[in-house]
Amino acid sequence: MVKIAIVDDNPGLRENLEQRLTLFPGILIVQVCNTGWQFLEIIQKSTSDSLPEVVLINIQMNALDSIEVTYQAKAKFPEMQFIIVAVNNNDDHIFRSIQAGASGYLLKEEPTPIIAQAIWDIKDGGAYMSPAIAKIALEILRSQTAENTTSTASTLPQSSLQTLSKRELEILELLTVGYTAQTISQKLFISSHTVQTHIKKIYNKLQVKNKWAAIKMAIDRKWFRK
């Protein structure tokens, strides 16, 4: 069972998402909020049993946007995971979401099974982005690396790389080109659970908190140059 919250200032979209996810076994909606302020106030008063593990939040909120909500909530509840659920693929919002610590970025047009799978992936320590979003996110990370011509990233010690096993390197390389945990499991003929276990080990060895930090490190240090 995974406990989730839905935070969205659009009543129609909020109710639609709630109805769709209610149908999925193993997903328990513990909070539904229409503003970021309301959500932050509720979690401050919540017991551990009523705290959501994964939060789906709409980036279009005006009073307090989902980026700021993510920052504030994760400062107090670092284990709480956030999925930005957006209506478009705005580059700036994607980049800010990654910086804020969001573990996922989905378009609202995604089929319900994909959203449910993303929730489970993220609850298990993974990350998920809609394919179109993942492509943009990788381009943003690569362009930042290219623009930072004075960076010494390429000369950093390779000790972190050397701690990774052959399988972990294989999975990290697939992550850098946009593969998700699910598609990696299909490509390598291993279970999604095994992939998630390897990903957690990668995070620990690289001393990063999420997929995008690991990808940025690999790109900055040019670990997988062809």
Residues in the chain with pLDDT < 70? 59-64, 88-93, 134-160, 225-226
Note the pLDDT of residue 168: 93
Q: Are residues 22 and 107 in the same domain?
A: yes
Q: Are residues 103 and 164 in the same domain?
A: no
Query: How far is Cα 126 from Cα 141, in angstroms, rounded to an integer?
Result: 19
Token code pair at residue 149 = 């011509």
Return the number of other C-beta atoms located less than 10 Å from residue 174's C-beta. Answer: 18
Q: How many domains does the chain have?
A: 2
Note the pLDDT of residue 9: 87
Indicate whether 159 belongs to any domain: yes
Q: Are residues 88 and 6 in the same domain?
A: yes
Indicate whether 48 belongs to any domain: yes
Q: Are residues 125 and 179 in the same domain?
A: no
Indicate whether 71 belongs to any domain: yes
Q: Are residues 6 and 91 in the same domain?
A: yes
* 217, 160 Cβ separation under 8 angstroms: yes
Q: With b meaning 16 or more CB within 10 Å and e meaning fewer, what string describes 76-97?
A: ebeebbbbbbbeebeeebbbbb
Reference 125, options 51, 27, 217, 198; nearest CA is 198
Q: Are residues 122 and 173 in the same domain?
A: no
Q: Are residues 97 and 177 in the same domain?
A: no
CATH number of the domain encompassing residue 93? 3.40.50.2300
Q: Are residues 122 and 212 in the same domain?
A: no
Note the pLDDT of residue 156: 41
Indicate whether 137 belongs to any domain: no
Note the pLDDT of residue 42: 95
Q: Are residues 63 and 175 in the same domain?
A: no
Q: Are residues 116 and 202 in the same domain?
A: no
Q: Are residues 50 and 127 in the same domain?
A: yes
CATH number of the domain encompassing residue 184? 1.10.10.10
Q: Are residues 114 and 170 in the same domain?
A: no
Q: Per-residue pLDDT tens for 134-190?
A: 666 666 666 655 555 444 444 444 556 778 999 999 999 888 877 778 889 889 999
Domain extent, residue 182, equals 152-220
Indicate whether 146 belongs to any domain: no
Domain final position from 70, 103, 132: 132
Indicate whether 145 belongs to any domain: no
Note the pLDDT of residue 170: 92
* 53, 4 Cβ separation under 8 angstroms: yes
Domain final position from 132, 166, 201: 132
Indicate whether 162 belongs to any domain: yes
Indicate whether 143 belongs to any domain: no
Note the pLDDT of residue 39: 94
